[in-house]
Amino acid sequence: MPDLLSVVLPLLNEESVILETYERLKKTMLGLAWDYEFIFVDDGSTDHSLSILEGLAQQDKQVKYISFSRNFGHQMAITAGCDFCNGQYVVIMDCDLQDPPELIPQLISKAEEGFDVVYAVRRKRQAETWFKKITACLFYRIFALFTNIQMPLDTGDFRLINRKVLLTLRGLKEKNRFMRGLVSWVGFKQTGILYDRESRKAGRTKFHFLKMMNFSLDGIFSFSTVPLKIASLLGLIITILSALMGIYYVGMKLFTNQLVHGWLSLLISILFIGGVQLIFLGIIGEYLGRIYDEVKQRPLYVISKKSNIGPQA
């Protein structure tokens, strides 16, 4: 019996592209000697995405779907798909066709060489603004600087993992999830292949600036305490500078006849120190908020409906 390949596809309001995604996936899998399952995870869509998935699941039992009770986020959708897939290999890809299904045979080929994780590295990013390209480039390099996790540069969630990695990831139940970081954190033998990321076939991106900013902060705060160390270091530097300035002004008063003026500099110093304090109180708050989320022990997501989905294997 051929091995089973699971394809996990998180989606949000993708009614205009689901059918084309399914058709291209089907065509790709027909050329492989593998059994397969497509697991679509509807992250609280408000359009007709769910009804389209219901129709596909009725006509093709290899199509499975999970529908959340509300929007829990892209990373939770990936988590749910991984929780309920049954394959020896699992491909994670977006449903908007920016990740080409035709690349799956190359991912499998690399995995069969003995790699546990095969990630897709973006060689080109079509139809993306210069701002997004620059910020994405900066994020990966800041992440590498702040953490000791060797996450490959310029990769997304498009990748293949084997069952050993899948079962390891299932054991990680943290609430603020950064899946590509977790895959790098667990280790194992990993490699990448280059591809050109296509433009969206339809619809608009769901990752606006604030969402991307929160996503980036989740990645850094989930894997690094460097921001807290920066706070301590900056506090030490400001204390030393303040002490030196105090010594200077005392010397001016004792050993010269010059008057010490500087109400403006005093005001600027107070505002600067106050701003730094507020920034680092915010950083501490980010870590405390994550601890708060963890201790509540709420489920990662809530499923309102599913089809062709069996118990976790």
The Cα 1–Cα 83 span in angstroms is 23
Nearest to 189 by CA among 119, 86, 109: 119
> CA 33 → CA 4, 26, 157, distances in Å?
10, 13, 25
Sheet containing 89-92: give its strands across.
Answer: 190-197, 117-125, 155-162, 89-92, 4-11, 35-42, 63-68, 303-307
Residue 63 dihedral angles phi and psi, to the nearest 5°: -95, 125
**Tens-digit pLDDT profile for the chain (313 aa)?**
358 899 999 998 888 889 999 999 998 888 787 888 999 999 888 889 898 998 898 898 889 989 998 988 888 999 999 999 988 899 998 888 888 889 899 899 888 888 999 988 887 666 566 666 676 667 666 766 776 777 777 777 888 999 999 999 888 888 878 888 888 888 888 888 888 777 665 556 555 556 666 666 666 667 666 777 777 777 777 777 776 776 776 776 677 776 656 665 666 677 677 777 777 777 777 777 777 777 878 888 888 888 877 666 6
Name 8's bridge partners: 39, 92
Class (C level, CATH) for 4-204+299-307 = alpha beta
Per-residue pLDDT tens digits for 22-52:
999 998 888 787 888 999 999 888 889 898 9
- Packed helices 209-223 and 263-296: angle between N→C axes, nearest 10 degrees: 80
- Judge contact between 18 and 50, C-beta under 8 A: no
The Cα 216–Cα 307 span in angstroms is 33
Detail the DSSP E strand segments found in the chain: 4-11, 35-42, 63-68, 89-92, 117-125, 155-162, 190-197, 303-307
Give domain limits for the chain: 4-204+299-307, 226-296
Per-residue pLDDT tens digits for 183-203:
888 888 888 888 877 766 555
